Amino acid sequence: MISETVKTLDRKSVEAAVADYLLQINYCGYQPDTRKVLSVRSTDRTAWLRDAATRARWEVYYFIEGELFPHEGDTRLPEGLSHTEHAAHLVDKIWDDLWVWNGYDFTTTSYGLNRQNYLQNDADNDGGIFGGTHAPV
Amino acid sequence: MKLHNAPAAGIRRPPRRRRRNCVSPLSAEGSVSKSNCFGTVPAFHGEDPRYIVPAYNRPVRDAAGLQDFLAAVVACDPRNRLPEGCNIPIFEAPLVGIADAHDALFDDLRKPGVVGPIHVLPDYWLPGARSVISYFVPFSGEIKTAYVKGRRLPPLEWVSGRLNGEIFNNVLRRALLRLLQKLGAKAVIPNLDIRYKAENWLPKWSERHVGFVAGLGTFGLHAGLLTVKGTAGRMGSVVTNLVLPPVQRPYTGPYEYCPWKTKKRCGACMKACPVGAVTPGGKDHRVCVTNTAKYIRPAYSAWGYHGCGHCQNNLPCSDRLPAEAATRRKSL
């Protein structure tokens, strides 16, 4: 069980970033942008879009095309759906995986996502900047 | 006055290096004539970076093919760089091993004194599992040379590489997952699974022990895995239902490559540890993490990093097998 007091990935910002991406690449036909990544910062676990480059400190990112959405055409806007509706649908499909991936990406030890055991058993704790999944809110 | 974000004392900055173009791993013919990782497709290192899996089209039927694939990810993904300083690369090309998911050694890992009953079988992660892919990815030469012998504190490059490297290790794990899915297989990453946990330093899935089963190497006195690319690196694994040829282990015993464990020779890792965590009996993890908490975390508090690598650097096994083990391995 993950404690309710830990920080986790902010779903609204993920949906907003994906929706914005869909808006961009479905304008003037379907032109997926393979440079775009979903970047998440450790401080509040919010996500936004940027182009891939060397990582900044305290962020992790995921390529939208291929890594988050592995199938070609996943990000094409279907007839009759708005970009926000399709984003919500796409995020719903990957949410469980992405939530766990992001939790581990911000975990500094090999104790898994359960901070309780870690605190009880290990002197090597920080509760700090990087140990985001487990950092106190 | 010490600047708040100044590197800890003793940190030596590596020379700024020009980023190299990497060879094309994507051509089915193995052509390396293109000047970037993606052949005709734009890539990192001067061109647009992109995720490697969708465009990767070389065969991945065995450990060698998977090794080529992961080497391409290491060479081309922009996340394989330290975020600070000269953005030196974190890792070099990995080693890949494959184990049959029903290898009897997986049962042995559950015995007390090996890992213990907390360790689970491949089928736990993926019912119907057929193969376990394990890899060892060595730290780059830039990171290893930053580790100055005799200094009590590890360099910034190492502590950053430890944490940022593990983030990139997750990229490697997920790249393998996506590649296997692209091939139509099912796959699970145990160490990125919600069910994963560890208690009292005993994990539900030990990357090092799985690497031993998959033929990557044997353990050393310092508890790290000794591979042909050394011991200074990180490990990862993926469980899949794809049938892949297992790698024949070129060893039998768990400590076969360690000169101290086999002939009481070497012991360099004992001398290297500044707090005596490595003893003739092995490594005491509690002493090791106490050192990290008391000395290394405070030294790097502004950076938010921690971790020590004295028992992985500047040793005869840091970036290769110890000489005797290498000779014995060659003769097999």
Q: How confident is the model at residue A4 (pLDDT cuts 50, 70, 90)?
A: low
Q: Is-contact A46 A58, C-beta < 8 A? A: no
Q: Is-contact B265 B274, C-beta < 8 A? A: no
Residue A5 carries which side chain, given as an amino acid letter? Answer: T
pTM of the full predicted structure? 0.86
Cα–Cα distance, B325 to B331 (Å, whole number): 10
User: Of B225, B224, B195, B205, whose CA–CA distance to B285 is shortest?
Assistant: B224
- Chain A residue with minimal CA distance to B167? A105
Work out the average pLDDT over A72-86. Answer: 96
Q: Is-contact B256 B218, C-beta < 8 A? A: yes
Cα–Cα distance, B7 to B286 (Å, whole number): 27
Q: Is A8 on the interface with B (CB under 8 A)?
A: no
Q: State the pLDDT at residue B47.
A: 66
Cα–Cα distance, B269 to B280 (Å, whole number): 10
Bridge partners of A36? A51
Return the SS3 of B169.
helix
Q: State the pLDDT at residue A112.
A: 66
Q: State the pLDDT at residue A6.
A: 61
One digit per residue, the tens of pLDDT, for chain B of length 332 reads 343 444 444 445 545 544 444 333 443 333 333 333 433 333 445 568 999 999 999 999 999 999 999 999 999 999 999 999 999 999 999 999 999 999 999 999 999 989 999 999 999 999 999 999 999 999 999 999 999 988 999 999 999 999 999 999 999 999 999 999 999 999 999 999 999 998 888 999 999 999 999 999 999 999 999 999 999 999 999 999 999 999 999 999 999 999 999 999 999 999 999 999 999 999 998 899 888 899 999 999 999 999 999 999 999 999 999 988 888 777 76
Cα–Cα distance, A117 to B197 (Å, whole number): 9
Chain B CB contacts of A72 under 8 Å are 54
ipTM value greater than 0.90: no
Q: State the pLDDT at residue B5.
A: 43
Query: What DSSP string describes B57-115?
Result: -S--SSHHHHHHHHHHHHHH-TTSB-SSTT--B-B---EEEEEETT-HHHHHTTSTTTS
Q: Tokens for B4? A: 């708040």
Q: Are strands B278-279 and B95-100 parallel, antiparallel or unpaired?
A: unpaired
Residues 43..102 of A with a Cβ closer than 8 Å to B: which? Answer: 51-58, 60-61, 63, 65-67, 70, 72, 100-101
Q: How far is B130 from chain A (nearest CA, A)?
A: 22
